[in-house]
């Protein structure tokens, strides 16, 4: 409309002051907070929802992906500990160790329906990858347990209203919650919001990208044995039905569903909707409504036409919308698509994903002090981020910056000036693969 108003100045109470303040409790933020606290830093984690896990738990991105390069495991560390604890509570399905990187018709039939094959099983037979499916409720519980054990202070149901800065130095944030506006001051701030809310507010340089947005969901009451039998015995007819489903969704990967960690429940990582901005509240509102409209159109279709779906129902839609890309930091180094394609390993590598590496510099803003960034909004070119954004590697980035923050506090160095070789040794002792 062009009109503006001026808000009156007000005093905001400072409710806490900590060593490390982590904003955003997704996989990266969870790992960052636990890692910093385990190193003895007084750490608080701010999260806008009532649980941890971000897109993994809230947007139902239940697939653990990008953890191997087709020949060996590449992603490990805190993410491994997390996965083992989820598995101990029965909340994880994954291939047996002896199946990894092997290819046969038997293994193809065993693991295809979970999406555990390299290249999603498009070429038969395909090797079995190091992948998993999580139960989000078990995952939430385990993350709370690990944060509590590490001594992380949690502050849930809290939005960040803006960064507190002194010149080019960030010194805390203002939060907005049912308790009103409150300030938290910190020695070091970690932006793990996924959208760069903190680094943007603090004045860091960034680019604004876009990619697919999804309202993921579960379909329950499915006779998965019948679905499998029908698809294997009638591949042409099944593909015709799948093609119609993809049309109704208006966008999907080739496989619009996978088996989940729970019997009779399918994971649907769709619809994919293009051309909308994950930072625009009107776009986000439209996508929430439109996404569910498409989901119920698909449900009606498969109930009437797809063998095995006669008694299907939508058991859950995602609590938070599946935004893949918005702001991307311009860091001391920005990883390019060529770096990703060529698997360039950097001298300051502090973690890796499938076949790409994270230099420490990609977490460091160019022009803001006391701030580190981890997760899907680290300094990657938009094209590079599209193929290097899965959440298990994001946990590795969180582990790196959490340890880096603790190291900076211990040594008295600025976060951009820490002893990176020392950080690398710390991470390797914690099981991170460099």
Within 8 A by CB and 6+ apart from 281, the residues are none
Q: What digits encode the pLDDT tens for the residues 204-252?
A: 999 999 999 999 999 999 999 999 999 999 999 999 999 999 999 999 9
Tokens of 37: 């606290």
Would you state the pLDDT for residue 288?
98
**Sign of the Cα pseudo-torsion (327, 341, 343, 336, in order):** negative
Q: How many CA atoms lie within 13 A of 221 on its CB side?
A: 11
The mean per-residue pLDDT over the stretch 406-412 comes to 98
Alpha-carbon Rg for the chain, nearest whole angstrom, is 22
**Sign of the Cα pseudo-torsion (26, 32, 37, 42, in order):** negative
DSSP state of 119: G
Would you state the pLDDT for residue 123?
80
- Could you please report the per-residue DSSP string of 231-262? HHH-HHHHHHHHHHHHHHHT---S---EE-SS
DSSP state of 97: G
Domain positions in the chain: 14-84+137-210+326-429, 212-323
Provide the 3-class DSSP secondary structure of residue 427.
Answer: helix
Helices (H), 22-125: 27-38, 54-58, 78-88, 105-111
Question: Which of 259, 279, 277, 278 lies closest to 269, judged by CA?
Answer: 259
Provide the 3-class DSSP secondary structure of residue 150.
Answer: helix
What architecture does CATH give domain 14-84+137-210+326-429? 3-Layer(bba) Sandwich (3.50)
**Cβ atoms 319, 352 nearer than 8 A:** no
Is pLDDT above 80 for 1? no
Q: What digits encode the pLDDT tens for the residues 311-370?
A: 999 999 999 999 999 999 999 999 999 999 999 999 999 999 999 999 999 999 999 999
Number of H helices, E strands in the chain: 13, 21
DSSP state of 89: T
Q: Identify each DSSP E strand in 343-427 by its residue range.
A: 349-352, 357-359, 371-373
Q: How many CA atoms lie within 13 A of 68 on its CB side?
A: 18
Question: Which of 79, 87, 119, 83 lies closest to 103, judged by CA?
Answer: 119
**What pTM, to 2 d.p., does this model score?**
0.97
Provide the 3-class DSSP secondary structure of residue 38.
Answer: helix
Q: What digits encode the pLDDT tens for the residues 381-399?
A: 999 999 999 999 999 999 9
Would you state the pLDDT for residue 122?
76
**Cβ atoms 415, 372 nearer than 8 A:** yes
| Cis omega (within 30 of 0) for bond into 271 | yes
Alpha-carbon gap, residue 363 to 433, rounded angstroms? 18
Question: Which of 249, 296, 293 lies closest to 270, judged by CA?
Answer: 249
Q: What is the chain's length?
A: 434
Phi-psi map region of 196: left, alpha, beta (phi>0 left; psi -120 to 50 alpha):
left
Is pLDDT above 80 for 129? yes
- Could you please report the per-residue DSSP string of 378-396? SSB-HHHHHTS--HHHHHH
Alpha-carbon gap, residue 115 to 106, rounded angstroms? 15
- H or E element in which residue 338 lies: helix 337-341
Tokens of 53: 């896990």
The mean per-residue pLDDT over the stretch 21-36 comes to 98
Would you state the pLDDT for residue 120?
75
3-state helix, strand, coil in the chain (%, to 5): 40, 25, 40
Q: How confident is the model at residue 259 (pLDDT cuts 50, 70, 90)?
A: very high
């Amino acid at each position: 409309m062009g009109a503006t108003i001026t808000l009156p100045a007000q005093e905001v109470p400072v409710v806490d002051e900590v060593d490390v303040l982590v904003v955003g409790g997704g996989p990266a933020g969870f790992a960052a907070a636990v890692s910093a606290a385990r190193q003895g830093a007084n750490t608080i984690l701010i999260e806008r929802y009532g649980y941890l896990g971000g897109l993994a738990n809230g947007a139902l991105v239940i697939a653990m992906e990008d953890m191997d390069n087709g020949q060996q495991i590449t992603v490990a560390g805190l993410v491994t500990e997390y996965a083992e604890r989820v598995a101990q509570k029965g909340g994880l399905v994954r291939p047996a160790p002896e199946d990894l990187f092997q290819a046969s018709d038997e293994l193809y039939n065993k693991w295809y329906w979970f999406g555990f094959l390299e290249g999603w099983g498009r070429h038969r037979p395909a090797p079995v990858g190091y992948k998993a499916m999580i139960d989000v409720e078990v995952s939430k519980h385990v993350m709370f347990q690990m944060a509590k054990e590490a001594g992380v202070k949690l502050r849930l149901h809290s939005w960040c209203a803006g960064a507190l800065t002194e010149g080019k130095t960030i010194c805390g944030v203002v939060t907005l919650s049912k308790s009103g506006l409150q300030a938290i001051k910190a020695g070091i701030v970690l932006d793990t919001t996924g959208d760069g809310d903190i680094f943007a507010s603090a004045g860091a340089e960034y680019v604004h990208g876009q990619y697919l947005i999804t309202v993921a969901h579960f379909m329950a009451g499915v006779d998965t044995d019948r679905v499998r039998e029908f698809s294997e015995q009638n591949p042409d007819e099944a593909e015709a039905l799948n093609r119609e489903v993809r049309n109704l969704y208006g966008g999907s990967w080739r496989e619009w569903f996978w088996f989940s960690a729970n019997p009779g429940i399918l994971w649907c990582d769709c619809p994919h909707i293009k051309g909308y901005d994950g930072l625009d509240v009107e776009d986000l509102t439209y996508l929430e409504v439109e996404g569910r409209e498409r989901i119920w159109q698909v449900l009606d279709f498969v109930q009437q036409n797809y063998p095995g779906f006669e008694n299907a129902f939508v058991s859950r839609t995602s609590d938070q919308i599946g935004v893949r890309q918005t702001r991307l930091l311009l860091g001391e180094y920005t990883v390019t698509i060529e770096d990703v394609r060529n698997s360039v390993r950097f001298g300051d590598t502090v973690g890796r994903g499938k076949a790409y590496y994270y230099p420490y510099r990609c977490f460091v803003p160019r022009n803001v002090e006391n701030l580190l960034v981890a997760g899907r909004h680290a300094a990657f070119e938009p094209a590079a981020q599209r193929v290097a954004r899965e959440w298990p590697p994001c946990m590795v980035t969180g582990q790196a910056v959490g340890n880096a923050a603790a190291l900076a506090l211990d040594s008295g160095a600025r976060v951009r000036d820490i002893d990176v070789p020392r950080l690398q040794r710390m991470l390797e002792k914690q099981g991170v693969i460099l």
